[in-house]
Every structure is written in structure tokens, then in C-alpha cells.
């Protein structure tokens, strides 16, 4: 070529095909990378329900007697004998009788006082764990019940059970722990070199040993701001929807370790 001519490289068709040359427009975009992390599936701590005793008493009958059983809100959990509940029921019945006697009174303040006493007795029973239907049954029957059935306030899987038949409980005694498995956490350990590719709200994909070949997805919901000085890793939490209950069948009793985790960061 002459010096004044543009510099060109001429290729034959066969050479062009072997070199696989391609041209694309210049564009601005984020760089991507695939990283590998190891972690485990855990319960979502925000979806744990602790069923505690609201009143002292003795557990005389237990319907939920092992861990791993699925319960729904309103299911029977146990039957409790409590002298305090027995006294509160009697107070309600006495208040109802007084209200009935004073209903024809010409003194309005007495009628209001009787009504207030009834409502206070109902509120005491409600705060001690009885629902509206149980209170209505006591009022209709006009008799107290030595045993009171306690129902589950939440739906999920029983992952811890401390209640035993014949056991005495006090206010605040934890009897059951129920986990809602519609959503789970995946706890991952990220090295310092991986942090540049991780961010809040990022979509990630992972596989598990329990389901080889299946891929699950979740969103990064938390990145621990403190680095572990021994492992030099940071905890990364991923929220995973579990509507299909695929993961929960393997995680309802104990967390399972992940085999591999891949994510595209930017």
C-alpha cells in the first residue's frame, strides 16, 4: 500500500470464518461476574411465632405432641387447668347476673357500672388467651369450665416443643415455636474480594444438594456491615419465597447446606 492510502487488512472468506470476527456498537453497561459462595437454608426469624403461657396452670392434655407437625391458626394445641382462669370465669358469670338484675334499675349510673364490670371480665379472659367463641360459650352455658383449650395463634410448622402433659407453666413460659415456611432465609458467607459484586436488592440464583439440577432464586436483603476477623467473611442474607414448599420439606427440621451459589453482580 502507498503511504497516503488508509491501512487495510484484507481477508479471504475462509479466513474471516475461521477468525470469527464480529462487530458490535459501543455501549455503556455494568460489568458482570459470577461468584461462588457456600451457605445454608434457615428459618425466617421474622416469621417465627412463640406460643407462651398467658396464665399460670397445668397442662392436662396435649394435642400437638411432637415437632415437625403442621398447624394452622386456630388449631387446638393443649388443654390447660388454671385456678386463675376458673376464678375469672366465675367473675364473668357474677357480673352477668348483676347486669341482669340492674338492667331494670332507674339509676343509669348503676346500669353503666354493671355493663362496665361485664366488659372488664370479658377483657380479662381475652387477655388470658380465650377467644370470643369460648367466652360466648361460657356466657350461654352459665357454668365455668375447669379446663380451657388453647389454640394456635399462627400457622406453620412446630420446630420446638417444650410443653409436656402434667407440666406446670407460669406466665411467659414458652411452650411451642412455630415457623412459617412460606419464606426462608439463605445465609451465605462472602469473602472480602466478593463484596464489590454484592448489593442490597440483588437477584441471586442457587442450587442445593437436596434438589440437584433445580435452581432457586432470591433477593439479597441484608449484608452484614461487620467482617468476621477469623474467617474474613461477611454474612449475606437472601430472602427466598417458598410457596411451592420445595425447600421446606428439607428444612423444616434442620437447615441444609447449599452446594453452590452463583450470582451475577454489578
pLDDT band at 256 (very low <50, low <70, confident <90, very high): very low
**Cα 193 to Cα 222: distance, rounded to the nearest angstrom:** 18
Residue 223 confidence (pLDDT) = 93
pLDDT tens string 94-135: 888 888 877 777 777 777 888 888 899 888 888 888 888 888
pLDDT band at 57 (very low <50, low <70, confident <90, very high): very high
Helices within the chain (DSSP H only): 13-19, 83-102, 108-127, 132-141, 248-251
Number of CB atoms found within 10 A of residue 91's CB: 17
- Model pTM score: 0.68
Residue 260 confidence (pLDDT) = 36
pLDDT tens string 131-172: 888 888 888 888 888 888 888 888 888 999 999 999 999 988
Closest to 188 (Cα-Cα) out of 113, 239, 115, 112 = 239
Residue 143 confidence (pLDDT) = 85
Amino acid at each position: 500500500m502507498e503511504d497516503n492510502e488508509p491501512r487495510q487488512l484484507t481477508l479471504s472468506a475462509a479466513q474471516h470464518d475461521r477468525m470469527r470476527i464480529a462487530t458490535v456498537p459501543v455501549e455503556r453497561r455494568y460489568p458482570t461476574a459470577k461468584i461462588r459462595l457456600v451457605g445454608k437454608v434457615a428459618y425466617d426469624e421474622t416469621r417465627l411465632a412463640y406460643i407462651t403461657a398467658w396464665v399460670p396452670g397445668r397442662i392436662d392434655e396435649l394435642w400437638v405432641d411432637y415437632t415437625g407437625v403442621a398447624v394452622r391458626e386456630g388449631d387446638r394445641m393443649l388443654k390447660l387447668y388454671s385456678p386463675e382462669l376458673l376464678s375469672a370465669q366465675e367473675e364473668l358469670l357474677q357480673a352477668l347476673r348483676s347486669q341482669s338484675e340492674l338492667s331494670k334499675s332507674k339509676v343509669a349510673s348503676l346500669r353503666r357500672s354493671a355493663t362496665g364490670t361485664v366488659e372488664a371480665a370479658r377483657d380479662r379472659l381475652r387477655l388470658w388467651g380465650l377467644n370470643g367463641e369460648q367466652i360466648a360459650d361460657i356466657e350461654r352455658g352459665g357454668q365455668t369450665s375447669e379446663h380451657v383449650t388453647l389454640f394456635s395463634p399462627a400457622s406453620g410448622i412446630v420446630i420446638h416443643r417444650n410443653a409436656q402433659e402434667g407440666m406446670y407453666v407460669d406466665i411467659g413460659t414458652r411452650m411451642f415455636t412455630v415457623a412459617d415456611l412460606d419464606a426462608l432465609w439463605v445465609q451465605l458467607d462472602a469473602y472480602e474480594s466478593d463484596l464489590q459484586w454484592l448489593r442490597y436488592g440483588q437477584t441471586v440464583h442457587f442450587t442445593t444438594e437436596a434438589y440437584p439440577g433445580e435452581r432457586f432464586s432470591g433477593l439479597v436483603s441484608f449484608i452484614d456491615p461487620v467482617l468476621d476477623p477469623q474467617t474474613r467473611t461477611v454474612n449475606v442474607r437472601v430472602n427466598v419465597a417458598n410457596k411451592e414448599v420445595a425447600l421446606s420439606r428439607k428444612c423444616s427440621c434442620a437447615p441444609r447446606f447449599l452446594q453452590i451459589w452463583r450470582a451475577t453482580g454489578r
